[in-house]
Amino acid sequence: MTAPNVSFEVFPPRTVDAAFKLWDTAQALAPLAPRFFSVTYGAGGSTRDITHDAAHVLRRTSGLPVAAHLTCVGASRTETLEVAESFAEIGVTDIVALRGDPADGAATFTPHPDGFADSCELIEALAKTGKFNIRVGAYPDPHPESTDVQANVDWLKRKFEAGADEAITQFFFEPETFLRFRDACDKAGITKPITPGILPVVNWTSARKFANRCGAFIPDWVDQAFDAALRDGDDRHDLLATAICTELCSDLMNEGVENLHFYTLNRSDLTRNVCRALGVLPKVALSDVA
């Protein structure tokens, strides 16, 4: 089985300690030659400047492609496109274009009076500049605001028609979830790449809360297994997380999946262990061993 191509998501640091954790994570994962690092964008654009700085430093220090998240929340069209232009100026021409979560804990998304109404409008505007490789989000489980998976497929098709180049899915726990979604997308005439998003579970309590919030289905066996592991201590938890994540990725690869995108939560250990199990090993240049 050929090793997959990988990419990694990190989030921008808000404190000095968090900054060290981010750079340690990047340093640990960069030798795996990822397709790109993606840097998230806080709710309501709350980390706009930090995202810009983190993307700049990652790009400069790693020499690897960096994809910066960009949302529609809390900004006018002009302001949003100015942020995109600021990314292009520092050599970050990969954008993950998202609508974004409702600002300030609101239940529903309300567009800025002069802003983009949804992700498709943002994608179309970015595509018209001709400067960016545009990635978008996709939901193999029903999005909390959608009626069913077919609605997710239809919305993703609109994103590709607006100019997106690739989709990255929300995380999921069973390979069938992604495979059914991929089949539905194929049936709908979607031909552009859809990369599964993978979450190595660093903390099950937090992961379960996030899964419930974003609509990711949690199989009973996963919930029960982590609950049992938590009773037995951290070592069991990490071993279980590594085993479940590795098996999920292996099953996807057996079904023809070539690219995997890992949500690292700025923690490298579990992600690196899963990658190693999948045959993704550090690339060592001759100069490193001379």
> Active-site residues: which are they?
9
167: number of Cβ within 10 Å: 22
Residues whose CB is less than 8 angstroms from the CB of residue 160 and which lie 6 or more positions away in sequence, other chains included: 136, 167, 190, 192
Q: Six-digit token pair at 240?
A: 């279980």
User: Could you give the angle at the alpha carbon of 67 between the alpha carbons of 127 and 122, nearest 5°?
Assistant: 30
Closest listed residue to residue 124, CA positions, set 114, 113, 112, 136: 136
Q: Six-digit token pair at 164?
A: 């997106």
158: number of Cβ within 10 Å: 16
Residues whose CB is less than 8 angstroms from the CB of residue 198 and which lie 6 or more positions away in sequence, other chains included: 171, 245, 248, 249, 260, 261, 262, 263, 274
